[in-house]
Structures are given as structure tokens and as C-alpha cells.
Amino acid sequence: MVSVTALALVIGVSAGCSDDGAAPDRLLDGSEADAPPVELQSVEEPALLTKVRLVQPTMRDEDERSASCLQERRGPTRPKGPSVERIGVQSETVTFVEGTRRAVFGCDNSPGPRENNRRWCGGAHGLLYNGRLRDPRLDILCGTTDEPVGFVWVHPSPGVRYVSVEQPGYVEVYEAFGELPIRVATISGVEYERFRASFDLFEHADDGSLVRRYRVEAAVAG
């Protein structure tokens, strides 16, 4: 279930501040969190660029993330083409398209321990209709820290280079890469007890100009 609400461009960024008022300086894998290469219009908080990597099928046997995701999702699911790996401040994801090209699936990860030392703490599977999802497939099972993490897939508008998510005290930036939807995460809008989460998003073009700003409100599918 999902609803998308357009937001007036004059509204300021509403994300709160972190405990010490400073934006994070590291991503989940310990690497340095860099700023995007262009200034993003209407983004007032510090912007942190997430990492993205396209993994070809021939490289999966050598690659920990994509290979381990497929191992944990044993069953009839068969991928086609490359996978997309993303690493954020509090998130790590892998996205695949099924061999029939009628669905996407993947794995989600956040900080903290989990049962049986599993590599991934959640995942999702979504049907494609003319190449697009009707439901962003919210995952909030990665509640392994004091701040539960919510994950959804989003389809950026044509010509969009960056999709950004408001977080407490900063904005997390995801680069559009390939044809697959972008798996984004939030720690600021998760209502764990209600099985819901909201995502305040920006979309920007190559030069950093604002394309649109909107909110995705998603519920765990029944």
C-alpha cells in the first residue's frame, strides 16, 4: 500500500538533528561519507552520497553481497542481468530483477545483531507492471537498533540523477543507476508498531536542479 503526496517547494527541510547536531561521516561499511559532486537545489541539511555498484552475473561467485543475498533467498527466484548494491549510513541493499522481468527482489541490511548470524536482516519481492511497481514493498524487519530502519523501492522520474531521503540532521543521496528501482531507507519516519513508514524525498537532475519533492507513505503489505 502506498500513497505519494506532492509537497510545496517552499516548505523547508523538516528532518531533525542528530544527538550531537552533526551529520554522520561514515557509511555502514566504514567508508567515508562524501558529499555529492553537485549542489542540490532546496536541500538545506548536509548531503551525504551513498555508494552504488553494479554487479554482473559473472562476478557474483566472487562478490559477497550479491552472492550471499541469493543464498539467503533460496527458492524459485532466479535473477536476470546485473544486481545493484547500495550502501548508506544505516542501510545496505541488493536489488535483482527476476528472469521473467516481471518482478524485482532483494535483501536489506542495517546495523546490529540478528538471529543465527544471518548476513541480511530483511528483504522484499515486488511484481512489476509495465516495468514499474505498484507497491514500494516496505520492509521494517531490520529493527536491530534503537532506530528501526524502513526500506522501500522508488522509481525516479525521467532525467533524474539523484534521489535523496531526509534523515535526522542530514539528507542521504542515492544515485540513479541502471533500470532497476532504487532501494532507499529511512530512520526518521518508521512507525514500527503500526507497520508503516514515511519517506520525504527529493529528486534532482545531473546539475543539481530540483525536479520534484514528495512523500511516500507505505504500509507493510498484508
Categorize the per-residue pLDDT at 154 as very low, low, confident or very high, splitting at 50, 70 and 90: very high
Q: Which ranges constitute the DSSP H helices of the chain?
A: 64-72
Categorize the per-residue pLDDT at 206 as very low, low, confident or very high, splitting at 50, 70 and 90: very high
Structural domain that includes position 35: 2-219
Residue 14 burial class via C-beta count within 10 angstroms: exposed 0-12, middle 13-18, buried 19 and up: exposed
pLDDT tens readout for residues 27-54: 999 999 999 999 999 999 999 999 999 9
Categorize the per-residue pLDDT at 91 as very low, low, confident or very high, splitting at 50, 70 and 90: very high
- Total domains in the chain come to 1
Residue 173 contacts residue 48 (beta carbons within 8 Å):
yes
Looking at residue 67, its pLDDT comes to 92
Looking at residue 7, its pLDDT comes to 33
Residue 48 contacts residue 15 (beta carbons within 8 Å):
no
Looking at residue 20, its pLDDT comes to 53
| Tally of residues, the chain | 222
Looking at residue 90, its pLDDT comes to 93
Looking at residue 19, its pLDDT comes to 46
What cell numbers appear for 7 in the block? Answer: 509537497
- Can you tell me the mean pLDDT for 76-97? 92
Cα–Cα dist 222/212, whole Å? 30
